Amino acid sequence: MGQVTHMGGESIVVRRGEHGWQVGDEQAADLTSAMVLADLLAADLGTPAPPPAGPPRHSAANHGAVSEEDEVARLAVTVSQLEHALAARVRVEQAIGVLAERHRRPPRQAFDLLRSAARAGGRRVIEVAEDVVGSASNPLLPLPAELARKQPPARKRGPSPRHARSSASSPR
């Protein structure tokens, strides 16, 4: 089982499954998406309860004779993975903010847009998020097409009154 976030009597459970991550009743392809989704669901439930105090409990059977070097190496890998996940999560959160602002939607709907675009393109959420954030900071980079707001059709305009008068009075 993954993280359990307690929210005023209710909890959100993030579990690793055969096809990705299970967050409540929803699926997420990667851990970053699962954690963002868990945060959004938790925000819908209310204020988080304080985390439990003290280190997590492990049974002696899980920690047999492990050398100190092995434990240090394992912890170093874990720290590296957590740092990577945090950086990815920050980028996804930034993309959610960009999409929420551009589409005038709540963060949960913006995340759903981001996740749908990633699935439709066969890409990871973080890859699409990086494109979205890049488009916000560089005007030369367009928002990915599947996330761009639909522009109303351009109105056909006739000649301006000034051009209509000048072309009517000038001989050809």
- Is the pTM above the cut of 0.75? no
Separation between Cα atoms, residue 80 and residue 101, nearest integer Å: 32
- Whether residue 93 lies inside any domain: the answer is yes
- Whether residue 141 lies inside any domain: the answer is yes
- Whether residue 41 lies inside any domain: the answer is yes
Residue closest to 125 by CA, chosen among 16, 14, 20, 2: 20
Q: Are residues 75 and 143 in the same domain?
A: yes
- Whether residue 35 lies inside any domain: the answer is yes
Burial code (b: 16+ CB inside 10 Å, e: under 16) for 41-74 equals bbeeeeeeeeeeeeeeeeeeeeeeeeeeeeeeee
Q: Are residues 39 and 100 in the same domain?
A: no
- Whether residue 21 lies inside any domain: the answer is yes
Taking only Cα atoms into account, the Rg of the chain, rounded to an integer number of angstroms, comes to 25
Q: Are residues 80 and 35 in the same domain?
A: no
Range of the domain at 88: 71-148
Instruction: Give the chain's domain count.
Output: 2
Block means of pLDDT (10 residues each) for the chain, 172 residues, are 48 78 80 78 62 49 71 86 83 92 91 91 90 87 79 66 61 57
